[in-house]
A and B are shown apart, each in its own frame.
Chain A
Amino acid sequence: MLRAALPLFGLPLAGAAATEEPTQEPRSSGEPPAGLALFRWQWHEVEAPYLVALWILVASLAKIVFHLSRKVTSLVPESCLLILLGLVLGGIVLAVAKKAEYQLEPGTFFLFLLPPIVLDSGYFMPSRLFFDNLGAILTYAVVGTLWNAFTTGAALWGLQQAGLVAPRVQASLLDFLLFGSLISAVDPVAVLAVFEEVHVNDTLFIIVFGESLLNDAVTVVLYKVCNSFVEMGSANVQAADYLKGVASLFVVSLGGAAVGLVFAFLLALTTRFTKRVRIIEPLLVFLLAYAAYLTAEMASLSAILAVTMCGLGCKKYVEANISHKSRTAVKYTMKTLASCAETVIFMLLGISAVDSSKWAWDSGLVLGTLFFILFFRALGVVLQTWVLNQFRLVPLDKIDQVVMSYGGLRGAVAFALVILLDRTKVPAKDYFVATTIVVVFFTVIVQGLTIKPLVKWLKVKRSEHHKPTLNQELHEHTFDHILAAVEDVVGHHGYHYWRDRWEQFDKKYLSQLLMRRSAYRIRDQIWDVYYRLNIRDAISFVDQGGHILSSTGLTLPSMPSRNSVAETSVTNLLRESGSGACLDLQVIDTVRSGRDREDAVMHHLLCGGLYKPRRRDRAEEQSPVACYQRLSSRLTWIKHFWYKASCSRHFISEDAQERQDKEIFQQNMKRRLESFKSTKHNICLNKSKPRPRKTSRKKKDGLANTEATNGKPPRDLGFQDTAAVILTVESEEEEESDSSETEKEDDEGIIFVARATSEVLQEGKVSGSLEVCPSPRIIPPSPTCAEKELPWKSGQGDLAVYVSSETTKIVPVDMQAGWNQSISSLESLASPPCTQAPTMTRVPPCPLAAEEPQPPFDLPYDPRPSFAFPPSLAKAGRSRSESSADIPQQQELQPLMGHEDRTHLSPRAANSHWCIQFNKGGRL
């Protein structure tokens, strides 16, 4: 869009800092520096950035104000409000300063305001959806835009010939085509702003939005070509120039995309090596994406396309490479910048419209343009869709077409382009400006306001926020493969064929090259989905549990009860609690305050469901004490969070909230993965003194896994299998060991609460986890103490009694791990790690064994006497928070210790340096 022609000086502040601001700082000048001034007012030195900041602040405050009333924002799109605000502000400025200030400068717009929005949309573009619909998107973007430009331009010219446009509008056919080219492009900013609030179905959204992004190339070319034709004068244009124009379409679009991809490649490659300097990861993302934009701009290629492709291309690898904190940082920074830029754009648009000096009104032109863009857009959409539907598997129906036609919003891009016109070459510029402003305002305000009711009225398929299921993920992948296979057999190189090819290429070469080895290994979509689901379940259960438990009935009506031995997911846990057989609730029953009860339930829940995925990746260095502290802090945190959430829900949608939670949890878990890996590496590399524990731990993990599987009757995987898997993994990662250590460190400590919580959960994990004994080597006495004191009862004399009696009530199978863990830690207390091996098979006689009730779910194991609570330790006087985590779990876990486990373990035990007794009775 002719950005190359922009004057490069003064760009950043061109909009805001155009002149001195008389209204805000009347005292800005005029104080002569007499002697040593105690107080000096140096407005001019800070003026420019100050004004920029002020404007952004005003815009943000306005946003806040808008959202104070939910009613308003649900009816009126934010972009409309911002434009109106801009009008008002512009009016004020005009009234005070007597001249228009602070307008939307094309330079500012293209170099600073647009890139963040495009980057945001490119980076977070659902790539699968995008490529699935690429054909349609490209058609609309290229053919549609060309069609719109030419028909609108020609029709306007026809209007003029017909005498409906006032003769003072001096414009030739070329001028009208130029105008048509700039007014025809659907604007990504406007589309995004409006459609984000409408929630039409994904396919529709991606088509309209993808079109608005990709048509940039066409717009750039058309605009440039027309502009240069106008400047050359139509008489001088030769046939070769038309050909060049066509050729430049390919150069600009493919060139822009290529620039974007090159930078995406560089970006991915760079982030592969940032292990030790995590802190610059987010910066890199922004820098390289911006560099892509500027490079494309410099070469007068399509900069929007470049950034889009850059974001689209790099995401997969970058997300895998950068740390989770960086990921969050990238996400939020990107969103903030984009939202900021969008706000400012709309506000400045409003302000710019006030400047009547640029205007020259002609009703015929304005009305004609409005009519033509709507009409030709609709016509174009219908025609193209008709053609496309011949090829599409899922045809676009009439309603979709209506929305697509109506959703063709014009925005700031058109405005910036029209401002860039040269008045000497295009005498009708003022008319064009006025018309553009009207068109932009009309589309953003009128169409923006009405599209929501329209969508509702037409019953357009909305985007459903049905929860993603594992099935869906699974079948999607399977179907892809099947389709690709069938296409291969028939020798038909269709879409599936190419996607399959690409995926294989990506897997074989690109991912290997661009992803860290560790990241590469972790990435598996199915697993990813699985673990996200688990987190979600846990969260939602905590939510439910928090409310349900506080009321008397503990039933979750929707959950059918189910009798199964190996319940792993939180969902199952949910069911159990709904079944009325939920024993841990009984345990809690005796507790006095409802709050404590809630704590405990939530805790079980989280422990049980949350950390299953990648358990073996857990970091092991945590001392139990720390863990307990963390756990308790997590509990309060979660409660806090949820209570808060429920209070504030009238403003934030539930969805958003849930997503936030998910994110937090995910981060924690992922962080854990990383840190665990690093520990693993260390182990592999140096088996020196301090390491043996870890090594043994690893092995144990392997064992645990096996046992976990053994615990479940139908599965008979030899433990060697699992162990082998784990070991190979480790060896793969060895090379990275040292660096990953730094990684781990990086990851620690910034978000204390979050991490703490995750840590705790894992340590105190109740669910039969893969790594059975998380904390064996660090054996502070705390666990024993913890056993003595129930968290909610600290300081109460009756504690011990309570504990023992409660042990009899039991427990979801999932919670064995926690039990095992506590046992192991206790044992390790008793003896130093190296001596543990011989003792490993021995199980300390448990005085409580007799009391152990039948596990509610017919556990196949014999309840084993596994551990004696050392009463002497009870007095240790642990703080309440420390102990809170473990006790309930231990009680619950007790019955789970399986006899068979021990037998499995023993052979292995001899090998490990550190053999702690751990039993993994249940399946994970």
Chain B
Amino acid sequence: MGNKQTVFTHEQLEAYQDCTFFTRKEIMRLFYRYQDLAPQLVPLDYTSCPDVKVPYELIGSMPELKDNPFRQRIAQVFSEDGDGHMTLDNFLDMFSVMSEMAPRDLKAYYAFKIYDFNNDGYICAWDLEQTVTKLTRGELSAEEVSLVCERVLDEADGDHDGRLSLEDFQNMILRAPDFLSTFHIRI
């Protein structure tokens, strides 16, 4: 714990604690993990708030992730500028959302964002097609995918505008109670 001070100032840590759902210890753990991703890029001294980003290439090329269809999307959603490069803040945010303490609405909001591939604030058919295609890893043909998407839209589309707004999405997801309750990880 001795090097805790050398990484963050006390105020920084406090701020992180305020902004996330983590304890100090967890923040430090996450920081080291973050630093691990790109040891040569990320300094061990964060007291001066260096502007460091771990490029998406590093995250996306992790061997564990290479088969995950959503790796890029996740990185994009949580990175500030949407290009998948993550700062420490983004990194902490990501886990913060996934923690048990995070409220359901927040989780639902981020889940929604992950679905919303074109960032237009709605899940439209195209977004869904992306999702389904990723999920099925190309095993469904295009028309099958679009059939499925249509059906999905249809099920959840409360206002019948042919796309899902955040409200639609929340309604749908909160209806199934154990949905979001499983949407977290322990670190």
Residues of A within 8 A of B (CB): 393-394, 466, 469-472, 474-479, 481-492, 494, 496-497, 500, 504, 521, 524, 526-527, 530, 533-534, 560, 562, 564, 566, 568-569, 571-572, 612-614, 705, 708-709, 712, 714-715, 717, 721-722, 725-726, 770, 923-924
Contacts and interface: CB of A to CB of B under 8 A. Distances in A.
A12 B61 CA distance: 61
Contacts of B144: 527, 613-614
Given A482-B74, A485-B71, A722-B141, A494 B185 contact: yes
Contacts of A492: 185-187
A107 B103 CA distance: 56
Contacts of B173: 471, 475
Contact of B114 (A482, A489, A533): A482
B155 A471 contact: yes
A471 B172 CA distance: 8
A393 B114 contact: no
B3 interface: no
B14 to A, nearest CB: 22
23 contacts: A393-B100, A393-B186, A394-B178, A469-B155, A474-B152, A477-B135, A478-B114, A478-B131, A479-B183, A481-B69, A482-B111, A487-B185, A490-B187, A524-B139, A526-B136, A530-B151, A560-B160, A568-B150, A571-B154, A572-B154, A705-B141, A709-B142, A725-B142
Contacts of B69: 481
Closest 7 CB pairs of A and B: A488-B64, A725-B141, A485-B68, A481-B70, A705-B143, A530-B148, A470-B152
Q: Most chain-B Cβ atoms within 10 A of its Cβ — which of A466, A479, A487, A496?
A: A479
Contacts of A534: 151
B132 interface: yes
A483 B182 CA distance: 9
A540 to B, nearest CB: 15
Contact of A481 (B135, B148, B172, B186): B135
Given A469-B172, A526-B132, A923-B146, 18 more contacts: A393-B181, A469-B155, A470-B155, A474-B131, A483-B184, A485-B74, A486-B98, A504-B67, A524-B140, A527-B148, A530-B147, A568-B151, A572-B154, A709-B142, A717-B143, A726-B141, A770-B143, A924-B146
B154 A527 contact: no
A535 to B, nearest CB: 12
A613 B62 CA distance: 37
Given A393-B182, A394-B181, A714-B125, A527 B187 contact: no
Contacts of A491: 33, 36
A478 B184 CA distance: 13
A478 B135 contact: yes
Contacts of A489: 33, 37, 59, 62, 65, 74, 91, 94
Nearest to B63: A488
Nearest to B77: A482
B131 A483 contact: no
Interface residues of B, number: 59
Interface in B122-181: 125-126, 128, 131-132, 134-136, 139-144, 146-148, 150-152, 154-156, 160, 162, 172-173, 176, 178-179, 181
A524 B146 contact: no
A924 B68 contact: no
Contacts of A393: 100, 181-182, 184, 186
Contact of A717 (B115, B142, B150): B142
Contacts, number: 160
Contacts of B185: 483, 486-487, 490, 492, 494, 496
Contact of B150 (A475, A566, A770): A566
B137 to A, nearest CB: 8
Nearest to B71: A485
B8 interface: no
Nearest to A479: B183
Nearest to A718: B142
Q: Most chain-A Cβ atoms within 10 A of its Cβ — which of B125, B128, B183?
A: B183
Nearest to A566: B150
Interface string B91-103: 1001100101000
Nearest to B138: A725
Contact of A486 (B74, B155, B172): B74
Contacts of B13: none
B148 A470 contact: yes
Contacts of B152: 470-471, 474
B183 to A, nearest CB: 5
A205 to B, nearest CB: 14
A721 B70 CA distance: 24
B28 interface: no
Given A394-B178, A478-B131, A722 B143 contact: yes
Contacts of A524: 136, 139-140
A571 B150 CA distance: 11
A204 to B, nearest CB: 12
Contacts of B162: 564
Contacts of A924: 143, 146-147
B62 A526 contact: no
A472 B176 contact: yes
A476 B33 CA distance: 27
Contacts of A566: 150
A485 B59 CA distance: 10
A709 B143 contact: yes
A495 to B, nearest CB: 8
A393 B98 CA distance: 12
Nearest to A491: B33
Nearest to A522: B139
Contact of A526 (B33, B140, B184): B140
B33 A488 contact: no
A482 B73 CA distance: 9
Nearest to A496: B185
A64 to B, nearest CB: 38
Given A483-B183, A490-B33, A490-B187, A521 B64 contact: no
B162 to A, nearest CB: 8
B149 to A, nearest CB: 9
A712 B126 CA distance: 13
B124 to A, nearest CB: 9
B44 interface: no
B66 to A, nearest CB: 10
Contacts of A569: 150-151, 154
B146 A490 contact: no
A497 B64 contact: yes
A471 B156 contact: yes
B27 interface: no
Contact of B182 (A479, A568, A726): A479
A487 B143 CA distance: 33
Interface in B20-73: 30, 33, 36-37, 59, 62, 64-65, 67-71
A894 B186 CA distance: 58
Contacts of A564: 162
A521 B141 CA distance: 11
Contacts of B132: 474, 526
A910 B17 CA distance: 69
Q: Most chain-B Cβ atoms within 10 A of its Cβ — which of A471, A572, A715?
A: A471
Nearest to B69: A481
A479 to B, nearest CB: 5
A613 B148 CA distance: 10
A484 B150 CA distance: 27
A441 B125 CA distance: 58
Contacts of B111: 475, 478-479, 482
A478 B135 CA distance: 7
Contact of B179 (A475, A504, A614): A475
Nearest to A572: B154
Nearest to A708: B143
Contacts of B151: 470, 530, 533-534, 568-569, 571
A466 B147 CA distance: 22
B100 to A, nearest CB: 7
B171 to A, nearest CB: 11
A726 B186 CA distance: 43
